[in-house]
Structure 1
C-alpha cells in the first residue's frame, strides 16, 4: 500500500470545505468499494453520493508527486471531495482489494508518455522550435502600453509634487475627492501597482484627519516616498524597455512594482529556480490590505541546505474569497523538485508547482539554528536592505539570543532580546498591536535562553526593532501568535 502524507492531501485540496466534506465521506463509510493495482500506481473507489448511481473516483500515481484525480460526480472543484476522500482512505491505511488498471487509464498514460518522449527527443537533437519573433502588431501594442504607462507616471509626478508642496495635513474633503479620482485614472494607465499605493496614501490621510494619530501621517509619507521612487525608477526602466528590439523579459523587480504579473514559465526561463530544494516553514500569517481589498496568506520558509529565508504569498481578493483556497500552516519537510524564485532582495518570494511532504528529521532543527545571526550582524544586514525604499519594510532572518528580558520603564512594558555579546534589540509588533506580558509568561522555559528566534526586523524612527514570529530549539519550532 502507498504511504500518503495528509499534509500533501491538504495541499491538493481546493478549499477547507472540500477537506471537511471529504472527511465526512470517510467517517460515514460512503465507499462501497476500494481497489488498487498491484504496482500501487492506481487507486479507485466506488462512493455513494446524491445521484442515482454511485460515483467512480480514481487516483493515478504514475507521477508520484502529481497524482491525477478523476471522478464521475458533477462537481467543478478539483480534486472534488470524493477524490480527497479516496486519498484520505489511502493515508489511513484502509483495506483495498487488488484490481487491474482500466484500459482508458492505460491509454491516457501512453499518450502522455509519447508527448513527453517527443519533447525530450527534440530537446536532445536541438530541434525544438525557436520562439517566434514578436509580430509588428504585438510590438506596436507593447510600445503603446509603455507610452501610456509613462503618461501615468507623469500624472503621479505632478500629483506627488503638489502634495509635497501643499503638505499632506492640508488636504481637505474636496481635495480628497479629487485625489480619489486620480486613483481611478491610474487604472487607465496600466499601473495597478502605483494605483494601490496611491489608494493606501489616501486611506492613511483619511485616518489621520479622523484621529490625528501621527502614525497615519508617517505611513502616508512613506507611501508618498515610495510613489516618488517608483515614478523615477519606473520611468527609467520603461524607457529602457522601449529601446529593446525584442520582448524578452528581464528579472527587474520594477516589472512587478508597476503592476506586472509573473508567470511561472517566465521565471523559470530566466533561470530563477533551484532543483530539489528542501524547505521547512518557520511561520505563517494572514494579512488584509484595505487599499487593494486583498487577503494574503504568507508562509516564511528556510532552505535547510543554504539557510536562505524566502516566503510564499497566496493572494485572495475579497471579491473572490469563495473561489480561492486559503493556505495554511505547514509542519512537514517539504521537498520541491523545482523551486521558482521571484526577482527580489534578501527575502525572495518563492513558488512551486509540486512538492513532496515528509516528517521533519530532528537534526533539521539544529541545522536551522546554525544559520542564525547575532544582533549586531542582523542589524547591519537589515539597515543595508532597508536602504532601498522599494523593498519590503522588513527583513526576515534568524537571531541567536542568550535570554529574553521583560522590563518596565515609566509604566510601559518592553521585551528585550539579548545575545551572547550582550547586544540588545527590542521586540515590537510592526503594527497597532502590542506585545503583552502573557507572551513572555506562556513561553516554555527552554525557549527563554540560548535559542534562536525567527524575526522580521523593521525600522522606525531610525531604530531597528524585531518582530518575533517563532523560536527554534534543538527539537522543535515554537510558533508565536499574538
Structure 2
C-alpha cells in the first residue's frame, strides 16, 4: 500500500468542492465505522448518509498504482466525497480497527485477478502473433477530403480579413466572422477552428486599434502558415491514405485537431519505461478559443532532465464531469510514459503510476539538469518561437548565479555574467516577478529557476517569467 497523505487524496479529487466535502465528513465524525486489513491494502467503512442506511465505501490498494474505489452511494463523482473522506480520515490519523477483508470484496478481488490473467494471456498471444492495425482507407479518404474542403473555406476567410484590412473591422464584421468560424466545425478541423476563434475573440472593436493590431497580426501569420502546411500535408495523405502516414514528428496533426490515442503513440515508439517525474509548476487557465479549461503541469523527468507538460482539457460544457487536476508534490514513478509529438515541452501522459515523497536527492538531481548557459537557453527559445506553428511560451529550467535589479527590472545572471530579463507575461494573468523580493536571500543566489519565455512584439524583447525556484531542500512555487 502506498503512503496516504492529504496531498495524495487531494490529487484524486474531482474538484475543489469534492475536497472540501470529503474533509467536512471527517470533521463532522460522519464515519461510525473505520476499518483496515492487517496488510494495509484495504480501507473500508461506513459513512452516515441522508437515509437510514449508511453508505458502505472502500478503497482497495491491492494494486497501489491503480486503487479500486467502491461506494454504495448514488453519486456520479468518482471518487465520491465518502471515499475521499475515508482516505482523509486515514491520512489524518483517525483510529482504524484491524479487520478481515469483507467477503464481497474478497470475491471481487478474485474475479479481478481472473480478468487480469485473461488479459495477460491475450497480451501474450498478441505478442506472438501481432496483428497490424487495419485502416478503412475509404472512410479515411472521405475525412481527408472534408478536411481539405474546410481548409479551402478557412483560406477564403483569412483572405477576406486581409483584403478588408484590420482597420475596417467593426462589430458587424466580427459578428459575421464568428458565424463563419462556427461553420468550420463541419470539417473535422477543430484545431484550426479554435485558432480562428482565438483571432475573432482578439478582435474587439471597442479596444484601442494598436492593441488589436498587436494581437491580431501575429495570429494572422500563424494561421496562414498553419493552413498552408495543413493543406500540403493532407494532400500528401490523400495520395497515400494510411494511418502510418500520420505525422508523429511535429505538432501539425494536433494543430489540425487530431487527438492522439495512446495506442497510436505506442505503435510509433513514443513511450518510455519506468520514468520518474517531479512536478515543478502547475497552473489552470481558460482557453476561450477552444472553449475549454486547461490544467497544465510542468514536470522534470529525473533521468533525462527533460521538462515535459501534462495537460487535462475540460470542455466548458462537460467541465463538471471531468476531474480537475491540481498541484502534485510527490514523485510520480510511471510504468509507461507516453510522449506526444512536440518540441521543448512535449506533452506526456501515463495510465499507471505509483507516488512517493521526494527526497533531497531528487531535488539535487532536478537542479543538476538546469541549463548552465543563458545564451544556449535563449537561442533554443528563440528558435522555437520563430516557428509559426510552435508554442510561443517554451518553459526551461535554468541555473543562475544571482537575481539582481538593473534599471528597475529583475534580471537573472549566469556564471558568465550573461543576463536574462525577468517579466510577467500579460496573457498569463498571474504576476510572479513581484514575489521575488519575498524570497530568502540565499534562494536568490546560486540556484535553479523554472521560467516561461515570452517575446514582446511591441518592443521586440525576449523575457522570461519565473514559475518556481528549485533548491536542494525543495521547490518554491511562485504560481500554482
The answer to whether the 8 Å contact 1:56/1:72 transfers is yes
Structure 2 gap ranges (5+): none
Residues 440-451 of structure 1 mapped to structure 2, 5 A cutoff: 440-451=436-447
The answer to whether the 8 Å contact 2:300/2:307 transfers is yes
Distance 2:369 2:393 in 1: 18
Is the alpha carbon distance of 1:438 and 1:36 closer, same or farther for their aligned partners in structure 2, counting shifts above 3 Å? closer
Deviations 1:140-198 (A, max 9, x none): 33222211110111122223233334432233344333322321221112221111111
Deviations 1:319-360 (A, max 9, x none): 333333322222222222222221111111112223322221
The answer to whether the 8 Å contact 2:6/2:92 transfers is no
The answer to whether the 8 Å contact 1:430/1:467 transfers is yes
Q: 2:181 aligns with which of 180, 183, 203?
A: 183
Tell me what 2:271 maps to.
273
Distance 2:447 2:203 in 1: 42
1:473 to 2:471 alignment: yes
Secondary structure, counterpart of 1:274 in structure 2 = strand
1:115 to 2:115 alignment: yes
What is the Cα deviation at residue 205 of structure 1? 2.3
Residues 77-476 of structure 1 mapped to structure 2, 5 A cutoff: 77-125=77-125, 126=127, 130=131, 133-134=134-135, 138-206=136-204, 209-212=205-208, 214-248=210-244, 249-251=246-248, 252-373=250-371, 374-408=373-407, 413-431=408-426, 438-461=434-457, 462-476=460-474
Distance 1:241 1:285 in 2: 37
Distance 2:355 2:368 in 1: 23
Deviations 1:180-227 (A, max 9, x none): 232122111222111111111122222xx4232534312211211111
Secondary structure, counterpart of 1:210 in structure 2 = coil
Distance 2:123 2:2 in 1: 33
Distance 2:163 2:186 in 1: 26
- Alignment length, in residue pairs? 473
Distance 1:66 1:446 in 2: 40
Q: CA RMSD in A?
A: 2.5
What is the Cα deviation at residue 307 of structure 1? 0.6
Tell me what 2:33 maps to.
33
Secondary structure, counterpart of 1:211 in structure 2 = coil
Distance 1:313 1:243 in 2: 33
Tell me what 1:16 maps to.
16
Structure 1 gap ranges (5+): none
Is the alpha carbon distance of 1:436 and 1:312 closer, same or farther for their aligned partners in structure 2, counting shifts above 3 Å? closer
What is the Cα deviation at residue 129 of structure 1? 6.9
More deviation, 433-442/105-114:
433-442
The answer to whether the 8 Å contact 1:3/1:90 transfers is no
Is the alpha carbon distance of 1:99 and 1:140 closer, same or farther for their aligned partners in structure 2, counting shifts above 3 Å? same
Distance 1:453 1:168 in 2: 40
Distance 2:170 2:392 in 1: 29
The answer to whether the 8 Å contact 1:234/1:258 transfers is yes
Secondary structure, counterpart of 1:421 in structure 2 = coil
Question: What TM-score results when the alignment is normalised by the length of structure 2?
Answer: 0.91
Question: What TM-score results when the alignment is normalised by the length of structure 1?
Answer: 0.90
The answer to whether the 8 Å contact 2:384/2:391 transfers is no
What is the Cα deviation at residue 388 of structure 1? 1.7
Is the alpha carbon distance of 1:426 and 1:214 closer, same or farther for their aligned partners in structure 2, counting shifts above 3 Å? farther
Distance 1:21 1:179 in 2: 44
More deviation, 358-367/173-182:
173-182
What is the Cα deviation at residue 361 of structure 1? 0.6
Distance 1:463 1:277 in 2: 36
The answer to whether the 8 Å contact 1:2/1:40 transfers is no
Secondary structure, counterpart of 2:32 in structure 1 = strand
What is the Cα deviation at residue 26 of structure 1? 1.6
Secondary structure, counterpart of 2:289 in structure 1 = coil
The answer to whether the 8 Å contact 1:279/1:335 transfers is yes
Tell me what 1:68 maps to.
68
